[in-house]
Amino acid sequence: MVRIVSVLTLGVLALGLVPAAASCPEDALGTARELRIDALSMPQVGRKHFPGTLPLAPKEVVLTFDDGPWPGTTDRVLDALKRECVRASFFLVGRNVAAHPALARRALAEGHTIGNHTYSHPLLNQMPLEKAEAEIARGFAAIDTALYGQPLAAPATPFFRFPGFASSPALLDRLQQKGVVVFGADLWASDWNPMTAVQTLGLVLGRLDAAGGGIVLFHDTQPHTAGMIPEFLRELKRRGYRVVHVVPTKRFAAPTVR
């Protein structure tokens, strides 16, 4: 019986579909499909910063969150995603992961993709190349240590986003050589600015409708973002949007920690 279930599960994943969780309510937004990518085919994605983006159909969205984890806001975002059975990508800051590892482990355990947003959030294009690379590597090491108990020879999830989108041609080349996909965005909520949850919701929905879908950037450290995410997810369902969950092409087997 176990073998039959395993075969069925593999078949579903091969089709790019995400099995519905047993606890999901019937009216939940859900996650429509899974999209696997790697640096060979898609080294940089997001039209705000790069020529191309993910191969999404009209009204498909990829939800991404930067700068966490942060107590009081990241957990509220995770609660909202869980209620709607939605999977997102979190680009974490290494020093925040080191300070709040349980939140990072919760995001991973609930099926979200965990990417790197450096260790201390500097503007990397203003640093010497070697120092910038070390900052990126330290971020990956902090994340993998929190999630898997040790730094890994290669990142468990080779996804990265530049703080402030401050990339450089040399760093982009180095990351591609190392098999790391660099995420930009197709639109954002501008939630780094002071505003209310209602204002954030109206702004991002207007931009999303204008774009017709794409990679959406939020910050899970912002209280107004955490406050609007439940209504945002319900509004996605009402407006006919579908959520796509992005994962690495190669599945990662976590090491055994003793």
Instruction: Tell me the per-residue pLDDT of 239-255, one tens digit each, with 9 for 90 and over.
Output: 999 999 999 998 766 66
Cβ density class 28-56: b for 16+ within 10 Å, e for less? bbbbbebbebebeebbbbbbebbeebbeb
pLDDT higher than 90, residue 18:
no
- What mean pLDDT value characterizes the chain? 91
What domains appear along the chain, each with residue ranges and CATH number?
37-248 (3.20.20.370)
User: Rounded distance, CA 153 to CA 119, Å?
Assistant: 17
Q: Tokens 């999630």: give the residue.
A: 147
Verify cis geometry, omega within 30 degrees of 0, for the bond prior to 58.
no
Give which of 91, 79, 29 is closest to 215, Cα–Cα: 91
The tokens of 109 are what?
A: 């355990």
pLDDT higher than 80, residue 14:
no
Model confidence, pTM: 0.91
pLDDT higher than 70, residue 99:
yes
pLDDT in tens, 109-133: 999 999 999 999 999 999 999 999 9
Instruction: Look at the alpha carbons of 150, 155, 156, 159 in this order and tell me if their dihedral is positive or negative.
Output: positive
Q: DSSP letter at 255? A: P
pLDDT higher than 90, residue 83:
yes
User: Rounded distance, CA 82 to CA 167, Å?
Assistant: 33
pLDDT in tens, 148-202: 999 999 999 999 999 999 999 999 999 999 999 999 999 999 999 999 999 999 9
Q: SS3 of 188, please?
A: strand
Catalytic positions are 66, 219
